[in-house]
Chain A
Amino acid sequence: MKQQIMKILSNEKIAKDIMKMVLEGDTSSLTKPGQFINIKLSGKYLRRPISVCDYNENTITIIYKIVGVGTEQMAEMTAGDTLDVLNGLGNGFDTSLSGENPVLIGGGVGVPPMYGVCKELIKNGKRVKVILGFNSKDDVFYKEEFERLGAEVFITTADGSMGTKGFVTDVLKGLDYSYFFTCGPMPMFKAVEGVAKTSGQYSFEERMGCGFGACMGCSCKTKYGNKRICKDGPVLIREEIIW
C-alpha cells in the first residue's frame, strides 16, 4: 500500500452516469487485476474505494458510476487536478487458476475490474470469453475495448435493447469454460452461483471504513474463517463463500 498525490490526466463520460478517469503517479504497489484504490475527496471524511480497471508503469484507469455526493464531486474534476490516493489495496484475482478457456462475467460497475483480468489472461495465451451485463443500451461500455484485447464478447441487457435480452446467466448457461471470474451486484452473483459449472472467483463490495484492514468494518464470514473484504478480499474463491 502506498499513499500519494496522483494527477488526473483525463476524466470523461463513457456511458450513462459512467465516468472513466486516468490518474498519473507511482503504480508500483499494484500487483494484480481486481485490486482497488481509496480516494480522499476534499470535504468528505471517509475515502472512496474504487476498483482498478487497468494500470501500467505510471497510470491507473478507474471507471466509476455517479451514485452519490462523492462520485458526483469526482465527476466534476478535470485534467490537471490532483487526488490523495491510497494505492494497491486488496488481494486481487488469482489468474493462475484460469485453465485454458476461462469466462469473465461483469455486471454494470462490476465490468471494469474484468478488463484487467482479461488483459492478463490474454497475455498468458488463454482463450477468453467475456459476458457483460447491463440494464439497457445506454449503460453499455467497454465492449470494443474487450474485443480489442482479443476476447469473445457477449452483451446482455435486461430490456433487450442490445445483445441478448435478459441476464448474464442466460448466456453463461450455454457456454463451455474452464473457470470463471466475476464482479457485479449481489443478485447477479446469486444467479451465477446457481448455474456456474466450474470453480471461480467473485469480487465483493462492502461499505468500508479504512480500506486497508484496520477497522473491521467490512468483515464477512467464510468457510475458512472471518475475512475482511478490503484486505483479505475483495476476491473470494467460490469454495470458501457462505451465501
Chain B
Amino acid sequence: MVNTKVELCGITMDNPVVPASGTFGFGYEFAELYDINCLGTFSFKGTTKEPRFGNPTPRIAECEMGMINAVGLQNPGVDAVISTELPKLKACFNKPVMANVSGFSVEDYAYTCERLDSCEQIGWFEVNVSCPNVHGGGMSFGTSPEAAAEVTKAVKGVTTKPVIIKLSPNVTDIVSIAKACEEAGADGISMINTLLGMRIDLKTKKPVIANKMGGFSGPAIKPVALRMVYQVFEAVEIPIVGMGGISSAEDVIEMMLAGATAVEVGAANLVDPFACRDIINDLPRVMEKYGINSLKDIIGGAH
C-alpha cells in the first residue's frame, strides 16, 4: 500500500493534489460533480478587499497545448467571501482550504489576510504577488525582491496561519525573489503563476483578448515550471507548491521530483472537471509503476 500523504507547512494532506486558484471557484460547484474531500486541499478564487468584475471580454484564448486567460481577478470581495462563499464551502468540504489573496497595495494584502485569518476553515494563505492581468497591482509586487518581501512581512504581521507567496515567472531571476520572501518570513513558495502571452486573430488582425495580453497556462508551460521549481528548491529551505501544466499523476510526480511538496492543477480542471479526482485515483498505480512507496520521500529527488 503506497503512501500519498505529504506535510505542507505543518499541515498533513492526504495527497499533494491541489486545484489551483481561479480554476475551482469556491469548490462547491465541483462538489456537485464529485466528493471534493478527496483533494489534498484547493486554493480558492483570488480574493481582494473590494468586489471586482475583472477585465472586459473576450477573456479567453486557446493556444496549442494551453490557453490564455485575462479574467482580471473577478471575485465578490473579502466580505462576501466570508459571509457567503465560505459557509457554502463548509457544507461540502471538511479539510483546511488554501486562501488565495490579491491586492493593489501592501495595505490591501494585509487587510484581506487579517479579515480571513479568523476563518477556521482556512489552513494556509497563498498570497498572489503575480497576477499578470491587473494593471497597477498583483504582478508588480512579484517582480522585485524588495516589494515581494514587503508584502510578505505585512501579511505575516497580521496572520497566524502559514503564508505561501505565489510567484510570477515573468521575471529575470525568480530565485532572488523566492529568497527575499523566505528571508521576510514566508512559510512557503508557490510557483509558477501564468506566463504573460497573447494571441492575434487573423480575421480581425487584432489581439483575441480584450485586455490584449493574458496569462498563458496549460501543458505547454510545464517544462518552464519544472525548471523554475528546480532552481528555487536549490536556493530555499521552505516548501514549494509547484504548478504549471500539471494534468496527470505522472506530472505530479515529476513536479515533486523537481522540488515541490504539493502540486497545483489549474487549466486541466477547465478542460476536464474531473481532472483532480482522476489524478488522485491514478496516483497509487503510477507510484507503484515507478517503485515509489511514499510520495514525501521523492520531494526534490531529481537534485
Contact = CB atoms under 8 A, between A and B. Distances in A.
Nearest to A217: B60
Contacts of A210: 23, 269-271, 273
A137 interface: no
Interface in A185-243: 206-210, 212-221, 226, 231
Nearest to A207: B58
Interface stretch (B64-72, B114-122, B179-187, B232-240): B64-72
Nearest to B63: A45
Nearest to A210: B270
Interface residues of A, number: 25
Interface in A1-58: 1, 3, 40, 44-47
Interface residues of B, number: 35
Which of A1, A45, A210, A220 has the most C-beta atoms of chain B within 10 angstroms of its own C-beta? A45
B25 A214 contact: yes
B12 to A, nearest CB: 27
Contacts of B176: none
B49 interface: no
B185 to A, nearest CB: 32
A206 B71 contact: no
Nearest to A38: B271
Given A3-B272, A45-B218, A207-B60, A212 B29 contact: yes
Contact of B60 (A40, A212, A215): A215
A131 interface: no
A213 B25 contact: yes
A214 B273 contact: yes
Contacts of A44: 62
A86 B269 CA distance: 13
B273 A207 contact: no
A1 B30 CA distance: 11
B24 interface: yes
Contacts of B267: 45
B273 A3 contact: yes
A213 B270 contact: no
Nearest to A208: B60
Nearest to B62: A46
Nearest to B61: A207
Contacts of A216: 22, 45, 54, 59, 71, 74
Nearest to A226: B53
Given A216-B71, A217-B71, A219-B74, A209 B273 contact: no
Contact of A40 (B25, B208, B271): B271
A46 B68 CA distance: 11
A170 B65 CA distance: 45
Nearest to B45: A216
Which of A46, A47, A209 has the most C-beta atoms of chain B within 10 angstroms of its own C-beta? A209
Given A45-B63, A226-B74, A219 B57 contact: yes
A111 to B, nearest CB: 22
Nearest to B76: A226
Interface in B234-273: 267, 269-273
Contacts of A220: 57
Contacts of B59: 207, 209, 216-219
Given A44-B62, A45-B63, A214 B57 contact: no
Interface string B120-153: 0000000000000000000000000000000000
A226 B267 CA distance: 23
Contact of B271 (A1, A46, A217): A46
B64 A219 contact: no
A206 B54 contact: no
Given A45-B66, A207-B61, A214 B54 contact: no
Nearest to A212: B273
Nearest to B273: A212
Contacts of A212: 29, 273
A102 B208 CA distance: 37
Interface in A41-85: 44-47
Contacts of B22: 215-216
Contacts of B57: 206-207, 217-220
19 contacts: A3-B274, A45-B62, A45-B63, A45-B218, A206-B57, A206-B58, A207-B61, A207-B208, A210-B271, A214-B23, A214-B30, A214-B269, A215-B23, A215-B71, A216-B22, A218-B57, A219-B54, A219-B59, A219-B71
Interface of A: 1, 3, 40, 44-47, 86, 206-210, 212-221, 226, 231
Given A46-B67, A217-B71, A219-B59, 18 more contacts: A1-B32, A40-B271, A44-B62, A47-B271, A86-B273, A210-B269, A214-B23, A214-B25, A214-B30, A214-B269, A215-B23, A215-B60, A216-B22, A216-B45, A216-B74, A217-B60, A220-B57, A226-B53
Interface of B: 22-25, 29-30, 32-33, 45, 53-54, 57-67, 69, 71, 74, 208, 218-219, 267, 269-274
Closest A-B pairs by Cβ, 8 of them = A210-B270, A217-B60, A207-B58, A216-B74, A209-B60, A46-B62, A207-B60, A209-B270
